[in-house]
């Protein structure tokens, strides 16, 4: 029998990130002429979203974070749903969750600060096991990821023996570990069809699974998980936008309900949506996703007018400049994944990545 006292003693001897890297003093956050000059080029990136009058509130944090990340040999990853002052002013790598984790393997940094939600930080840890991964707010969760547990997946495997389990990357490491392979919204159809069978479990996003089912002959079994941002969009509201202005192009994420996807001009993953806008440059576009993404790509596509039906992700918005700075100062909060869970979860991710190899 395992000795609880021994486990407690072993945990107490684990060195924290603060122990390994040390804690530094909180920088001075005054808005000085030096800070103004240092951050002016960054302000130009967000000037359409942040009034000049408000910049002195942001600039000291931006300057302090950019100095300290160099001192710490840290890289900041920011998801497309982060606010513009994070996305454009302190992030080193931006993109969707899997893209961020993969890009982080290519940089020479000891520390990753994940500006996203918890499962994204776990995925970064899975693909960068030797690096220290911090998340500025440990409570930054995800309604979709939290809709299913590892125990749920084990029960599904018992209920549907022999049926492959394809798990969306927007899940916890524990859930990935119980799966056969992971998928993204961009490659879900390809992954589902790679097994060459007539039935596949595609979990946990019900709407993504339904949208995949519409594109394949494979019978898709799913779970009733939803993204609380995308599930709120309706076909009725999008048709109302179209009726008011027929020139609007509607671009939807496949986490949206099928009836929303049906009225969209294009449906694609986060990176697919961005690529569509950059390649086609529609005069007016409505992105059916978290509204910060429109703000973040607006500066890259001058001439495109974004119509914003603003559904915000409350979990993403838990990440702020002050919390990022505190992560770097105090080296908190660190992401840990049980090594046995990590090994199995990493295998599910790698099977997806290596699918075309």
Q: Is 185 known as a binding-site position?
A: yes
Determine if residue 313 is labeled as part of a ligand binding site. yes
Which token pair is 102? 């993969």
SS3 call for 160: coil
According to DSSP, the residues that pair with 132 across neighbouring strands are: 111
Alpha-helical regions (H) of the chain: 4-12, 17-21, 33-46, 55-72, 84-87, 97-104, 118-127, 150-159, 173-177, 188-193, 206-213, 235-244, 258-263, 270-280, 292-298, 321-330, 339-353
- Overall size of the chain counted in residues: 357
Q: Is 10 annotated as a binding residue?
A: no
Phi and psi based region of residue 50 (left: phi greater than 0; alpha: psi -120 to 50; beta: remaining): beta
| β 165-168/111-115 pair status | unpaired
Q: How open is the CA angle 124-127-131, to the nearest 5 degrees?
A: 70
Annotated binding residue 41: no
Q: Please, which residues have CB within 8 angstroms of residue 27's CB and are 6 or more apart in sequence?
A: 60, 64, 67, 68, 325, 329
| Residue 267 marked in a binding site | no
Dist CA 82 CA 91 (whole Å): 10
Residue 270, annotated as binding a ligand: yes
Q: Is residue 3 annotated as involved in ligand binding?
A: no
Please check if 212 is assigned to a binding site: no
Is 254 annotated as belonging to a binding site? yes
d(CA 228, CA 221): 21
Say if residue 353 carries a ligand binding annotation: no
310 is in an annotated binding site: no
Binding annotation: 79, 97, 142, 168-170, 185, 227, 253-255, 270, 313
Q: Residue ranges for the binding site for [4Fe-4S] cluster?
A: 142, 227, 313
Which residues define the annotated binding site for iminosuccinate? 79, 97, 168-170, 185, 253-255, 270
């Amino acid at each position: 029998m395992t000795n609880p006292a021994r486990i407690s003693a072993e945990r107490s001897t684990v060195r924290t990130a603060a122990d390994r890297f040390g804690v530094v003093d909180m920088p001075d956050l005054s808005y000085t002429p030096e800070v103004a000059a240092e951050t002016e080029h960054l302000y130009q990136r967000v000037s359409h979203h942040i009034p000049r009058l408000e910049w002195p509130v942001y600039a000291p944090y931006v300057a302090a974070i950019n100095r300290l990340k160099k001192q710490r040999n840290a890289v900041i990853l920011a998801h497309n749903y982060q606010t513009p002052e994070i996305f454009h002013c302190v992030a080193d790598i931006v993109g969707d969750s899997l893209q961020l984790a993969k890009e982080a393997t290519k940089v020479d940094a000891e520390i990753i600060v994940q500006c996203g939600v918890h499962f994204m930080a776990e995925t970064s840890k899975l693909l960068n096991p030797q690096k220290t991964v911090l998340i500025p707010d440990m409570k930054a969760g995800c309604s979709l990821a939290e809709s299913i547990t590892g125990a749920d997946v084990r029960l599904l495997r018992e209920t549907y023996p022999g049926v492959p389990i394809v798990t969306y990357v927007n899940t916890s490491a524990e859930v990935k570990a119980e799966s056969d392979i992971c998928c993204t919204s961009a490659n879900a159809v390809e992954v589902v069809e790679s097994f060459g069978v007539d039935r596949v479990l595609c979990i946990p996003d019900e709407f993504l699974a339904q949208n995949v089912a519409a594109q394949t002959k494979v019978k898709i079994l799913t779970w009733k998980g939803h993204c609380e941002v995308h599930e709120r969009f309706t076909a009725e509201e999008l048709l109302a936008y179209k009726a008011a202005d027929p020139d609007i192009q509607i671009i939807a994420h496949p986490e949206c309900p099928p009836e929303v996807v049906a009225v969209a001009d294009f449906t694609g993953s986060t990176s697919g949506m961005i690529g569509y806008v950059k390649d086609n440059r529609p005069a007016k576009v409505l992105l059916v996703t978290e509204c910060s993404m429109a703000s973040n790509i607006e500066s890259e596509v001058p001439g495109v007018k974004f119509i914003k039906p603003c559904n915000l992700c409350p979990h993403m918005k838990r990440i702020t400049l002050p919390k990022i700075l505190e992560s770097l100062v105090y080296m908190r909060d660190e992401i840990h994944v049980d090594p046995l869970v990590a090994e199995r979860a990493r295998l599910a991710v790698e099977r997806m990545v290596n699918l075309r190899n």
